[in-house]
Structure 1
C-alpha cells in the first residue's frame, strides 16, 4: 500500500501589525490546496472577527488548562494575552497529506521550529518600522501605551528573522501572496520530496 505523503507545515509570522491576518485572508481566496489552522487566543475579538474562523476566542483560565494538558503545538503570551495552536488538528492534517498554514506570533513560531524543524518558516516583514506603526495606529483598537509596547516588541522580533527560511516584504498584499505562493510551489518541487515520490512510483512498476 502506497504511503501517504506528509503535508507541508507552512509557518507565517512577523511583527504584530505587519498584516499577517490580511495576507492569510487573501491567500485563502486563491486556489491553493492548504488547510488554514485556527489559533486560540485570550484577546477579545476585533470588529468583524468570527470565533472559530479568525481565532478560537477563550478565557485565560481555559487557555492555561490547555497548556497544562499539553494540547497546544505552541503558545505565547503577547501584550498580556495568550496565543496558541491546537496540536491535534495540525498533526492530523499533515498525516493526511494536507499542507497546513499557521499564522502565529514570532515567539510561537520558534517553538514550532523546535518540534517541526522541517517546516517552512516565512517571516512577513513591513516595508519600514514607520509604516508598521502607521498600520497599528490605523486599526484604532489600541491605546498609545499598547502601541508603544508593540513597537518595542517589533524591533526585538525583527532580530528573530535569522531563524526563518524565507523573508517576504508585505508592501502590497497581492504581491506578498504571490511570493508566498511561489515559496510553497518551490518547496513541493524540492529534490528530496520529488525523489521519494518517483522512486516509489518506479518501484511499483517493476
Structure 2
C-alpha cells in the first residue's frame, strides 16, 4: 500500500505552520517533508530535520538530475523538495505532507496528480496583515510585498481540492484533520 501526498499551501502569515504543528501532534503517523535550501542554517537548525542544507553546486546538480519534486529561487537562495525521501515514505504507506508555496504546489501537481491539495485562506486581508505585523519579523516594505503576493496566491485558491478559512483555529484544525484522515 502506498501513502498519499498532501500539499498544504496558503499565503505567508495565514497560519499554515501553526495548523501543521497541531495536526502532526495529533497524527504522528504523518510524515512532514523536509525541504532543501542553499541558505545558511540559522541558530538551532539541524541538517535533515529543519532543512537539508545544500551547497549551490549540489542544489543545481539535483535540479539537473531531476531529483527535486519542486524548487524555486527566493532572495538569492534555492529551496526545494528532494523526491527520494518523499517517495520512500509513500512506498512505506505513510502519507506525506508538503507545506509549500503556490509555485511549488503547481509543480508537485505535475508529478503527483492525485495529491490532496489544500489551500489555507485568511478570513480577510486585514486579518492577514495584522497577523504578519504581529509576528514582528518583517519590515513595512516586506509586509507590503507579502500582502501583494498573498493576493496573487489567494486568486489561485480554486486550483486546490479544498479550501480552509483559518478564522477560528480549532475549527480550521478540525477541518484539516478531517480532510487528511479521509484521504
Q: Deviations over 1:48-85 (max 9, x none)?
A: 76553333344545433332232210012345543211
- Per the alignment, in what secondary structure is the counterpart of residue 38 of structure 1? coil
Q: Are the equivalent residues in 2 in contact too, given 1:6–1:96 (CA < 8 A)?
A: yes
For these two proteins, the number of residue pairs brought into alignment is: 183
Pairing 1:161–2:162 present: no
Aligned position for 1:175: 171
- Per the alignment, in what secondary structure is the counterpart of residue 21 of structure 1? helix
1:23 to 15, 19, 22: 19
Greater RCO structure (CA 8 Å; 6+ sep)? 2
Aligned position for 1:89: 85
TM-score (norm 1): 0.79
Aligned position for 2:125: 129
Q: Deviations over 1:115-159 (max 9, x none)?
A: 111010000111111111222222222222222111111111111
Aligned position for 2:10: 14
Alpha-carbon separation, structure 2, partners of 1:17 and 1:57: 24
Shift in Å, 1:16: 1.5
Stretches of structure 1 that go unaligned for 5 or more consecutive residues are: 188-206
Stretches of structure 2 that go unaligned for 5 or more consecutive residues are: none
Aligned position for 1:98: 94
- Per the alignment, in what secondary structure is the counterpart of residue 110 of structure 1? helix
Shift in Å, 1:182: 0.6
- Per the alignment, in what secondary structure is the counterpart of residue 29 of structure 1? helix
- Per the alignment, in what secondary structure is the counterpart of residue 12 of structure 2? coil
Alpha-carbon separation, structure 2, partners of 1:45 and 1:176: 31
**CA gap 1:99/1:167 in 2 versus in 1, 3 angstroms:** same
- Per the alignment, in what secondary structure is the counterpart of residue 76 of structure 1? strand
